[in-house]
Structure 1
């Protein structure tokens, strides 16, 4: 009996020892994540390369926030500068903390995950509750969370916090090499970050690509001790991003959602503007689409120019009223392609229509054509 008790006591002691060792390891791991003074085995140690990559990451993330957050949080669609100001504030605070050797702050991947969760909880949803044509938000409803103005300071604070750990590392690197060299790699990294995001926007790539790019940058900048945490945290963020971007079309300028209508066609929702426009048969369009042709009853327009042709509503009306040729100018190629695919009247398939993907002002400055009707 005594032998059994002795064996049991030894097992209990071993279990306690293993628990203590595991707890110490977990504590040490968390400390290495949250305390910047903890030695880490970095994948990239060259300070010049790290300055370049951090500058790249900060500018890329800044543009990502400016583009991504307002596309889901309606209030920030009207206050884009909030995100920009928060970015500047976070970068400045992070640079100030670089003077301190010991500094506790949540790591960047964790802050990005928290930001993604807040955006998901406060995203705007348009609900179609009427068979009537909706235009610029008439008849829309939205959830209680989207009506909460507190989301503005919350997201402002989170964006600011996201930049602090990045810019702290950035500021510490500035003390390791000559200032002129540091600024050179800083500027090059910033320009490359802007160029990279511009290319992504040009090809209308979705947010998943943006966040994958950001994830790769942060993984390269991480260490052997933190790479698993960084990868797993960003994986959760990527899952949220995928959930949010479902059924959305991304143009070089904004997010587009199509909401089917009972009578056929779709409501086109651009960056949470509500019912931005209706892509429906021309008979159901608002009266002002036909007003120009009713005012000049009996006239036969030969050549019309439509600035901001969008998904083709004005083009459809012009064709129905007998316009001989239509030059449809639209800056956003994605909206025009959606009109090609989903407009019930199929105006862009008519041989009388010439499509120009260009800014309206630029087109007017360079076009030499003559028109007897201009709609904008």
Structure 2
């Protein structure tokens, strides 16, 4: 049980960091709204922890679906700057690819919140099964492991299979 909590906490932080990095690399709007995914993650994790133990079991089972939808959305409609001239100085003077900002940003925010709510629910259910200080200790160990795993994969320049890169030949 303790190691399942460590694994759930590791997954929670790793997915959060991976979404921040990957979506930010593929959706140029997130360079201006840099905390967008972070806020969606906090909302989702909070919802996952607030749901009573008996409720939200469906959320745990269906979490891979919004994750797949987010990956499909970002890979199908990446938002990049289309620059037609080297004379363009400001971001507002160029056109972008992908869906409009008013569609892309809310979809990414909501999907992130749902994904993280599912992972948060799994973590919270395991958290409740241990004494508070023990649960916190293993949660902290999992968070550190998630951060170190993310840093190691970044340092190793992990291949696109790991990061879900939209352009495998450039990863």
TM-score above 0.5: yes
Question: 1:201 & 1:100 partners in 2: Cα distance?
Answer: 38
Equivalent positions of 1:229-248 (< 5 A) are 241=164, 244-248=166-170
Contact 2:16 2:41 survives alignment (8 Å): yes
The runs of 5 or more residues in structure 2 that have no matched partner are none
Query: Which whole-Å CA distance do the structure 2 matches of 1:129 and 1:135 have between them?
Result: 8
Q: How does 1:1-376 map to 2 (within 5 A)?
A: 47-101=1-55, 103-105=57-59, 107-127=62-82, 129=84, 133=86, 136=89, 140-143=94-97, 145=99, 147-210=100-163, 241=164, 244-249=166-171
RMSD across aligned positions (CA): 2.3
From the superposition, tell whether residues 136 and 71 of structure 1 become closer, same or farther in structure 2 (CA, over 3 Å): farther
Report the CA distance between 1:107 and its aligned residue. Answer: 1.6
Aligned counterparts of 2:10 and 2:94: Cα–Cα separation in 1: 40
Q: CA separation in 1, counterparts of 2:4 and 2:54?
A: 20
**Aligned equivalents of 2:10 and 2:24: distance in 1?**
22
Query: 1:229-264 CA distances to partner (integer Å, 9 max, x unpaired)?
Result: xxxxxxxxxxxx35x123424xxxxxxxxxxxxxxx
In the alignment of these two chains, the number of paired residues is: 169
Higher-strand-fraction structure: 1
Alpha-carbon offset, residue 52 of structure 1: 0.1
Q: What SS does the corresponding residue of 1:149 show, helix, strand or coil?
A: helix
Q: CA deviation at 1:144?
A: 5.7
Task: Give a deviation string over 1:318-368, Cα, whole Å, max 9, x none.
Answer: xxxxxxxxxxxxxxxxxxxxxxxxxxxxxxxxxxxxxxxxxxxxxxxxxxx
Gaps of 5+ in 1: 1-46, 211-240, 250-376
- Alignment deviations for residues 289-335 of structure 1 (CA, whole Å, 9 cap, x no partner): xxxxxxxxxxxxxxxxxxxxxxxxxxxxxxxxxxxxxxxxxxxxxxx
Secondary structure at the aligned position of 2:122 is classed as helix
Query: Residue 104 of structure 1: SS of its match in structure 2?
Result: helix
Q: State the TM-score, normalized to the length of structure 2.
A: 0.85
The structure whose Rg is larger is: 1
**For 2:32 and 2:19, how far apart are their aligned partners in 1?**
14
How far 1:189 moved relative to its partner?
A: 0.7
Distance 1:88 1:176 in 2: 22
* Distance in 1, Cα, partners of 2:147 & 2:64: 21
Question: How far apart, in 2, do the equivalents of 1:134 and 1:117 lie?
Answer: 34
Higher helix share: 2
Alpha-carbon offset, residue 135 of structure 1: 5.8
1: CA distance between counterparts of 2:106 and 2:82?
Answer: 26
For residues 75 and 159 of structure 1, do their structure 2 counterparts lie closer, same or farther at Cα, with a shift above 3 Å needed?
A: same
Asked if the contact 2:56–2:121 (Cα under 8 Å) also holds between the matched residues in 1, the reply is no
> Secondary structure at the residue paired with 2:168?
coil
